[in-house]
Homo-oligomer: A and B are copies of this chain.
Amino acid sequence: MISRTEIATLGEFGLIRRLTEGMKLKNKSSQYGIGDDAAVLSYPANKEVLVTTDLLLEGVHFDLIYVPLKHLGYKSAIVNFSDIYAMNGIPQQITVSLGLSKRFSIEDMEELYAGIRLACEEYNVDIVGGDTSSSYTGLTISITCIGEGEKGKVVYRNGARETDLICVTGDLGAAYMGLQLLEREKSVLRRVDKELQPDFAGKEYLLERQLKPEARRDIIEKLAEEGIKPTAMMDVSDGLSSELLHICTQSNVGCRIYEEHIPIDYQTAVMAEEFNMNLTTCALNGGEDYELLFTVPIADHEKVSEMEGVKLIGHITKPDLGCALITRDGQEFELKAQGWNPLKEESHATEKSEESK
């Protein structure tokens, strides 16, 4: 039985002290962390400072019925790191703001923070600040990540040019299938009777992709080693279709991608079959993959073809050709952004989830 200590016994400053105990700043750019009105960072003149932020709200972005707090902490940090890598940068610092309702204990917050700290250790990032407050409702997590990019090497979404090759890392759709699986088993997971835990054997990869995603630091490092600077890049958080349309709109180009080249894991395919879902649709619109989508000049064809974990899925065209998927049987379908839109009426963002603790 895990003990439960009310957060009110510590107050804001006490809680922050407890959660950040023993933490040391690792990066040279981190001059001063938690404990003053602001953190102080020092970036050399040859670096650009990259800033990204994500707001995660209980019931909208996560469901504590099946998301363990430590995993949630880990993922909250990772999604921010992923945005920095997507600029061809390296994450350096984060600030962590938390809004906590009374149902959370100090031990809960230690779990959440353990996940955030683990992600920071693995990706060599410092926690330099934040804000902690009570909340009347669920859990609110707001993380801002600061990273560095070499001057002249930052990659935007707007640089894709005609004939560029379109590349994507890893595989797509697995995180989405993991979510479907967890949603299906929710009623079982909610039971107190622990004998009746669902059997996830053979589906571990899907759960891992949903619950403990990683950011593609390895790819950014490899691209640097190979001397490849993508012309455009972003991470796949809302789904491949949606992201590709962002790149094409901002670069004022069109694209063709090929269904047969979209990388999909075996477990994703099995699960789509089981759910009677169209596999390609899952891969195109699933979201939360945190893979990198990027374009390179055709001259880099050989280099990127040989890179492990990178798949060529198509090419950039003139803008008037639009954005399309070529199916296995040669048909052309216009790409549409059906990605996860947290403000749209029909998205799962509006399926109100129940209190879970």
**A27 contacts B by Cβ under 8 Å:** no
Is there contact, CB below 8 Å, between A132 and B49? no
Q: Taking the complex as formed, is A163 at the interface, i.e. its CB lies under 8 A from any CB of chain B?
A: no
Per-residue CB proximity of A314-357 to B under 8 Å, as 1/0?
A: 00000000000000000000000000011111000110100000
Q: How many copies does the complex hold?
A: 2
In the complex, how many angstroms separate the beta carbon of A48 from the nearest chain B beta carbon? Answer: 5
Q: What separation, in Å, do the CA atoms of A11 and B345 have in the docked complex? A: 9
Q: Does A11 contact B53, Cβ atoms closer than 8 Å?
A: no
- The answer to whether B45 touches A142, judged by C-beta atoms less than 8 angstroms apart, is no
Q: Is A119 an interface residue (CB 8 A)?
A: no
CB-CB < 8 A to A67: which residues of B? Answer: none
Q: How far is the CB of A342 from chain B (nearest CB, A)?
A: 4
Which B residues are CB-close (under 8 A) to A40? 48-50, 87, 149, 154
Chain A, range 85-132, C-beta contacts under 8 Å to B? 86-87, 89, 93, 95, 97-100, 128-132
Number of interface residues of A (CB under 8 A): 78
The interface residues of chain B lying within 8 Å CB-to-CB of A136 are 57, 59-60, 137-138, 352
The CA of A341 and the CA of B130, in the complex, are separated in Å by 15
A10 close to B343 (CB less than 8 A): yes
- Indicate whether A241 reaches chain B with its CB closer than 8 angstroms: no
- Select A343's contact among B15, B52, B97, beta carbons within 8 Å: B15
Q: A258 interface residue, CB < 8 Å from B?
A: no
- Contact A55 B99, beta carbon cutoff 8 Å: yes
Q: A52-B129, A55-B97, A60-B134 are in contact. Are A87 and B341 (CB under 8 A)?
A: no
Tell whether, in the assembled complex, residue A45 and residue B44 are in contact, meaning their CB atoms are under 8 Å apart: yes
With A136-B137, A136-B352, A149-B40 known as contacts, the answer to whether A12 contacts B343 (CB < 8 A) is yes
A269 close to B (CB within 8 Å): no
Given that A38-B147, A60-B135 are contacting pairs, would A8 and B50 also be in contact in the complex, using a CB cutoff of 8 Å?
no
Using known A-B contacts A138-B137, A341-B11, determine if residue A36 contacts B87 with beta carbons closer than 8 Å.
yes
A140 beta carbon closer than 8 Å to chain B: yes
Assembly CA distance A107 to B132 (angstroms):
30
B142 touches A97 (CB 8 A): yes
Whether the Cβ atoms of A50 and B54 lie closer than 8 Å is no
A136 to B348, CA, bound (A): 12
* A–B complex contacts, Cβ < 8 Å, 7 sampled: A40-B87, A40-B149, A41-B49, A51-B95, A54-B97, A60-B99, A142-B142
